[in-house]
Structure 1
Amino acid sequence: MSYLSIEFGLLFIAFFALYWGCCFSPNLQNKLLLIASYLIVASYSWLFALILLVYTCIIYLFSLAIASSQRHAKRWLILALCVSIINLALFKYFDFFRYELQALLNFCHLPILLPVITVLIPIGISFYTFHSVSYLVSVQKKALPVAKFWDFALFLSFFPSIIAGPINRAKDFLPQIAVSQPREILQPFRAFTLIILAVIKVYCLGGLVSENWVKPIFANPLEFNVIDLLVGLYGYAMQIYLNFSGYTDLVTAIALLLGFRLPINFNFPYLALNLREFWERWHISLSHWIRDYIYIPLGGSRKGFIRTQINVLLAMLLSGLWHGAGINFIIWGACHGIGIIALNIGDRYFGRNWITARSPIIARLITWHYVCFTWLFFNSESLPDAIDYLTALTHNFFIEPNYIGAFLFICIIFFTYPLFKNIPDWFTLQLGKIKPWYLPFIFILILWVTIYIAPSGVPNFIYANF
């Protein structure tokens, strides 16, 4: 069920009324949230809910072992992390590794046939796996006591963030669950602003960009001119940002209406002046998770310049693999790793931010185009599709462009993008000045106009696939 569907909206209104009808008891509210979260997971498949429950029980038992063991806590942690990784790999990467291993066996002329097993990927498995890792590490470091089982179960299954993030840290989110004082709705005007932004971004702008620019160009890249192909790349960069940041806006708003705060996940990423800054602005909860649980444990920047670059590349390769079981995602991660390494080398020999210091706009243009280039691999169904796109991009100079107007429009958007930065805060401020009984009518009017303009159908959340 899409969180932008009318069905979900009506169900959430009913749940909202029931939830706040129990405002005298946070414990009862937690039980309602847990039931609702499992029902949403079960709406995709009851097996997904069962897998989540079993995983929750196993990880919780490991946390008890870690907390109660004085001498072997680290061993229990390593074992628990291995179980988490194997569970994720089994469901998400079995088919990919089976295919690649079978290809290797065939290449070596070994008469071994690996079994074909259809494995469904449980919804949200990447996110609740990352949530559980943050919990286990926090317990092992004594930064967090062992949670009550039902609180931990809600932490892993919390429905606003289980489908496509953002990634919650146990030390930040579990205390919000284990409150004893009655909760309250947080920042209602900001929540309404975020809902409106989500609908505009995902339903309208993202949908229009996808239908008019991205899908037709990526479907047959060899037929288009370089200008058109750039529009396709630029369009996908816009689409994935609008889609994913819009989803984050929506679930952040839902959490605020339920009395919870989710971590910031986007901060105008296409204002970044280099690739490092891009990852400080894009999918922030993931980039910080990779930094804290992969890059730093690998040694971070503590073991010399060359080792630092190896750690960067490994972290970004794992980031790519996390996004999907395919060579195209690994290439996408490798491109980001190589880009950051090149940036680090430039900083070492020419001075930190040497391009930015001379021309911020050139630095931003370079970053934008490099990120758009990497999105080519992210959006392609396979490596041959990406190669076709690259071939057309480097050869189709003489075909008359079809999307010159779109190209100029995107250029205008790029250069005026910094002006959009304060719009959400300004809109929230204006909502606070309006008399409360007018707000539902304004809200409904904006939603109706947006849905009327948007393409037909309920848009999918791109990151729900990961």
Structure 2
Amino acid sequence: MSYLSIEFGLVFIVFFAIYWAFRLLPKLQNTLLLLSSYLIVASYSLQFAVILFIYTCAIYFFSVMIATSKRYAKCWLILGLSAAIINLALFKYFDFFRYELQSLLNYLNLSILLPVITVLIPIGISFYTFHSVSYLVSIKKKELSVAKFWDFALFLSFFPSIIAGPINRAKTFLPQIAVSQPREVLEPYRAFTLIMLAVLKVYCLGGLINENWVTPVFSNPLEYSTLDLLVGLYAYAMQIYLNFSGYTDLVTGIALLLGFRLPINFNFPYLAFNLREFWDRWHISLSHWIRDYIYIPLGGSRRGFIRTQINVMCAMLLSGLWHGAGINFIIWGACHGVGIVVLNVLDRYTGRGWITQRSPIIARFITWHYICFTWLFFYCESLPDALDYLTALSQNFLIDSHYTEAFLSICVIFLVYPLCKNIPNWCTLQLSRTNRGFLPIIFIFILWLTIYFAPSGVPNFIYANF
């Protein structure tokens, strides 16, 4: 069930009323949240809910052993992290590595046939794996005591964030579950604004961009001019941002209405002046997770300049692999790793922010185009598809353009984008000055406009696939 569907909206209204009817009983509210979360997971597949519960039991066992075994706590942590990684690798990467390993065996003329097993990827497995890692590490560092089992089960399955994030840290989210005082709706006007922005971003703007520019160009790039192919890249960069940030806005708004705060996941990433800043603004919960649980444990920047660059490449390659079991995602991660390494080298020999200090617009222009280039590998399902696109991009100068007006429009959007920075806060302020009785009317009007202008069908959340 899509969170943007009418069905989900109606069910959530009923759930919202029941949930707040037990405002004085937060433990009962937790039970309602846990049941609803498992029902949503089971709506994709009952097996997914069973896998999640078994996984929850296993990780909880390891957390108890870490907390109670003073001498062997590190060993239990390693076992717990290994179990989490093996579980993720089995369900998400088995088919990919089986195919690659079988190709290697065939190349070496070894008559070994690996078994063919159809493995379905459980919904949200990447996100609840990362949640569990943060929990185990927090237990080992004594940042948390062992949670009650059902509180921990809700932490892993919390329905607003299980499908496509953001990634919650145990030390900040579990205390929100284990409250004894009555909860309250948090920042209702901001929640309302975020939900409206999500509907506009994902349903309308993202859908229109995908239908008019992304799908036509990427479906047959050899037929389009270089200018059109640039429009396709720019359009996909906008679509994935609108889709993912829109989803984050939606679930953040839903969480606020339920009395929970989710971490900030986006901060106008296309205003970044370099790749490092981009990753401080894009999918922030993931980039910070990779920093804290991969990059820093590898040594971070503490072991010399060359080792730092190796750590950066390892972190970005793992980031690419996390997004999907495919060579295209590995290349995407490698492109970002190489880009950051080159930036670090330039900073070392020319001074930090050399280009930005001299021309911020050029720095942002270069960063934007490099990011758009990397999105090509993110979108294409295979390397040959990406190479076809690059070939056409470098050769189709003489073909007549179909999207000249679109190209000029995107140029204008790029220039005025910084002015949009305060739109969410401005909308929240205006709504706070509006009579509450008019809010449903405003909501219905915006929803009607969105449905009227948006393409038919309910759009998918791109990051739900990861």
User: TM-score, normalised to structure 2's length?
Assistant: 1.00
- Trace 1:216-235 onto structure 2 (pairs within 5 A): 216-235=216-235
CA drift of 1:271 comes to 0.1
Aligned to 1:145: 145
The 2-side partners of 1:194 and 1:451 are apart by: 18
Q: Which residue of 1 aligns with 2:366?
A: 366
Between the aligned partners of 1:129 and 1:244, the Cα distance in structure 2 is 20
Give the share of equivalent positions with the same residue, in percent: 79
Q: Which amino acid aligns with 2:425?
A: D
TM-superposition CA deviations, 1:31-56 (whole Å, max 9, x none) = 00000000000000000000000000
Pairwise CA distance, 1:244: 0.1
Question: Is the aligned partner of 1:320 residue 2:314?
Answer: no
Aligned residue type for 2:403:
Y
State the match for 1:388 in structure 2. Answer: 388
Q: What is the Cα deviation at residue 451 of structure 1?
A: 1.2
Residue 254 of structure 1 aligns with an amino acid whose one-letter code is I
Write the mapping of 1:373-452 to structure 2, written as runs, cut at 5 A.
373-452=373-452
RMSD between superposed Cα atoms in Å: 0.4
Cα deviation per residue 1:162-206 (whole Å; 9 max; x = unaligned)?
000000000000000000000000000000000100000000000
CA distance in 2, matches of 1:441, 1:79: 54
* Partner Cα separation in structure 1 for residue 37 and residue 180 of structure 2: 21
Deviations 1:438-463 (A, max 9, x none): 11111110111011100000000000
Instruction: State the Cα deviation string for residues 54-112 of structure 1 (Å, max 9, x = none).
Output: 00000000000000011111111011100000000000000000000000001111111
Aligned residues: 466
State the AA in 2 paired with 1:176.
Q
State the distance in 2 between where 1:442 and 1:462 align. Answer: 28
* Residue of structure 1 in register with 2:56 after alignment: 56
Q: What is the CA–CA distance in structure 1 between the aligned matches of 2:446 and 2:237, rounded to whole Å?
A: 25
Structure 2 residue 170 is matched with structure 1 residue 183: no
Residue 139 of structure 2 aligns to which amino acid in structure 1?
Answer: V
In the alignment, which residue of structure 2 is the partner of 1:346?
346
Looking at structure 1, the residues matched to 387 and 103 of structure 2 have their Cα atoms a distance apart, in angstroms, of 21
Provide the C-alpha distance between the structure 2 equivalents of 1:70 and 1:441, rounded to a whole number of angstroms. Answer: 59
1:286 aligned residue: 286
Structure 1: runs of 5+ lacking an equivalent:
none
Deviations 1:94-148 (Å, cap 9, x if unpaired)? 0000000000001111111111110000000000000000000000000110000
Indicate the SS of the match to 1:346: helix
Question: 1:161 aligns to what?
Answer: 161
Distance (Å, rounded) in 1 between the aligned partners of 2:71 and 2:31: 35
Instruction: Name the structure 1 match of 2:16.
Output: 16
Tell me the equivalent position of 2:248: 248
* TM-score (structure 1 length as normaliser): 1.00
Cα distance in 2 for residues equivalent to 1:93 and 1:41: 21
Aligned-partner SS, 1:301: coil
Offset at residue 436 of structure 1 (A): 1.2
After TM superposition, give the deviation of residue 16 of structure 1 in Å.
0.3
Give 1:305's aligned amino acid.
F
Instruction: Give the structure 1 partner of residue 295 of structure 2.
Output: 295
* Matching residue's letter, 1:340: I
> What is the deviation of 1:435?
1.0
Deviation of the 1:381 alpha carbon: 1.2
2: CA distance, partners of 1:44 / 1:162: 13
Deviations 1:238-276 (A, max 9, x none): 000000000000000000000000000000000000000
Show the counterpart of 1:72: 72
Cα deviation, 1:13-42, whole Å, max 9, x if unaligned, reads 000000000111000000000000000000
Per-residue CA deviations over 1:406-449 (Å, capped at 9, x if unaligned) read 00000000000000000110010000111111111111101110
Structure-1 separation of matches of 2:244 and 2:442: 25
Letter matched to residue 267 of structure 1: N
* Pairwise CA distance, 1:213: 0.2
Q: Partners of 1:338 and 1:75 in 2: how far apart?
A: 35
Letter in 2 for 1:151: D
Q: Where do 5+ consecutive residues of structure 2 fail to align?
A: none
Q: Distance in 1 between matches of 2:421 and 2:452?
A: 26
Distance 1:63 1:438 in 2: 49
Q: Distance in 1 between matches of 2:435 and 2:274?
A: 44
Task: Report the secondary structure of 2:297's partner residue.
Answer: coil
SS in 1 for 2:339: helix
Q: Which residue of 2 aligns with 1:335?
A: 335
Which letter does structure 2 place at the counterpart of 1:344? N
Aligned mates of 1:340, 1:143 — CA distance in 2:
32
Letter in 2 for 1:21: A
Write the letter of the residue equivalent to 1:359. Answer: S
Letter of the 2:15 partner, please give it.
Answer: F
Residues of 2 paired with 1:91 and 1:272: CA distance?
Answer: 35
Equivalent residue letter for 1:221: P
Give the structure 2 partner of residue 34 of structure 1: 34
* Aligned residue type for 1:71: R
Q: Write the distance in 2 (CA, Å) between the matches of 1:360 and 1:370.
A: 15
Specify the SS of the correspondent of 2:120. coil
Q: Deviations over 1:198-238 (max 9, x none)?
A: 00000000000000000000000011100000000000000
Mapped partners of 1:46, 1:159: distance in 2: 15
Distance in 2, matches of 1:313 and 1:143, equals 29
